[in-house]
Amino acid sequence: MTATEVPAAVDRDALERWLVDRGVLKRIEEMRPIGDGHSNITLLVGDGARRVVVRRPPPPPLPPGAHDVLREARVLQALDGTGVPVAKVLGVDDVPVVADVPMYVMEHVAGVVLTDDTPEPYADPATRRHVGERLVDALAALHAVDWRAQGLEGYGKADGYLERQLRRLGKLIDGGVQPEGLDELGGRLRATIPESGPSTIVHGDYRIGNLMLRPDEEQPVVAVLDWELGTIGDPLADLGYLVATWAYPGAPEHPLTRLCMVTTEDGYPSPGELAARYAEKTGRDISELSWYGAFALWRLAVLFEYGRRRHESGDGDPYYADPTMVSDFVAAGHATADHRYGR
């Protein structure tokens, strides 16, 4: 399947009936995959006058707890009207009717997703800095939401997020030969785990490649995308993930920095500047940010190793086949654990 082919698991006729019956579209004239993800299936669907986005899991069998698009829909609905930039959910198929998996449909938000370079007319240092600073502000706004007041009780456990992540994710790749340095990195993290502050909504994959942007607007982040890993937990996990996946000159490279080399261009803030702005906006202590950055890279190493093993067994995405992706995350994790985020 190429990047422009609709997966065979998608039943176009059934999807069209569902969308028409609910008044979302009049028909399907356009349908194509969008995004660079290798997890849930994301489709742009249109009738010639309106476009929407359909989000659904890949075909079964699915690993326990993975690809839960209903959780995504729930947090998007909870954030609607809070000031956090998210797409509006237009419908949820939780039965499911369209296929053998649930799905949801959301509005299509126009804008750009920055990956390789900043397009014209936004390719100037001042606009790049504006984007970098304001995406931190959007993250701070997310972490300021009263998740209990928004009906997210039970969306995640408020306490013990870091310990739980270290324990549960580690179990994904128990047994077999461990990638070099991964156990050591996990051990470093467990031995130095910081004390978390009050829990907030956590996106889990907050990086520039998951943001829909209109760089010339006062708040250029018009939609935060890809909420598959969303939960309730330690907000600094999101900040650590942002700085650990932020490409900058001289940074240790890994698969996610290579996806978004745009931030190596002149004008984008450094990771230290991103962190300082977050601390200013939220008042949170970021002195342990190196731990959170290393934690983010350990998580990615585990998830990519899990994906590699699934592919090796004949039941996974070939994207994960290259074991050097895991080793790059591990090396970057050790380097980040030794780093101090300054200006």
Q: 299: which residues sit within 8 A by CB, 6+ positions away?
A: 165, 169
**Which residue has tokens 């130095």?**
192
Q: What does the pLDDT read at residue 225?
A: 95
Q: What is the largest CA-CA distance in the chain?
A: 57
Q: What does the pLDDT read at residue 316?
A: 79
Q: What is the DSSP string of 259-285?
A: HTGGGGSTTSPPHHHHHHHHHHHH---
**pLDDT tens string 218-261:** 999 999 999 999 999 999 999 999 999 999 999 999 999 999 99
How far is the C-alpha of 82 from the C-alpha of 266, rounded, in Å?
A: 33
Q: Is the pLDDT of residue 3 over 60?
A: no
User: Which ranges constitute the DSSP H helices of the chain?
Assistant: 12-21, 69-79, 125-144, 161-172, 182-191, 236-244, 255-259, 271-282, 289-312, 324-337
**pLDDT tens string 104-157:** 999 999 999 999 999 999 999 999 999 999 999 999 999 999 999 999 999 989
Q: What does the pLDDT read at residue 343?
A: 47
Contact 246, 275 (CB under 8 A): no
Using DSSP, state whether 253 is helix, strand or coil: coil
Q: Is the pLDDT of residue 74 over 80?
A: yes
Q: What is the pTM of this model?
A: 0.94
* Residue 170 host element (H or E): helix 161-172
Whether the bond between 198 and the residue before it is cis, its omega within 30 degrees of 0, is no
How far is the C-alpha of 242 from the C-alpha of 245, rounded, in Å?
A: 5
Question: On the CB side of 73, how many CA atoms lie within 13 Å of its CA?
Answer: 22
Mean per-residue pLDDT for 85-101?
90
Q: Is the pLDDT of residue 181 over 90?
A: yes
How far is the C-alpha of 209 from the C-alpha of 288, rounded, in Å?
A: 25
Q: What does the pLDDT read at residue 320?
A: 94
Q: What is the DSSP string of 4-16?
A: TSPPTT--HHHHH
Residue 251, token pair as written in the block: 């940074």
Strand pairing report for 221-224 and 211-213: antiparallel
Nearest residue to 97 (alpha-carbon basis) of 32, 175, 18, 33 = 18
Q: Give the chain's end-to-end CA distance (angstroms, integer).
A: 44
**Which residue has tokens 């649930």?**
102
Q: What does the pLDDT read at residue 101?
A: 82
How far is the C-alpha of 210 from the C-alpha of 213, rounded, in Å?
A: 10
**pLDDT tens string 4-58:** 678 777 889 999 999 999 999 999 999 999 876 667 889 999 999 999 999 998 7
Rounded mean pLDDT of the chain? 93
Domains belonging to the chain, first-starting first, are 12-107 (3.30.200.20), 125-337 (3.90.1200.10)
How far is the C-alpha of 40 from the C-alpha of 18, rounded, in Å?
A: 20
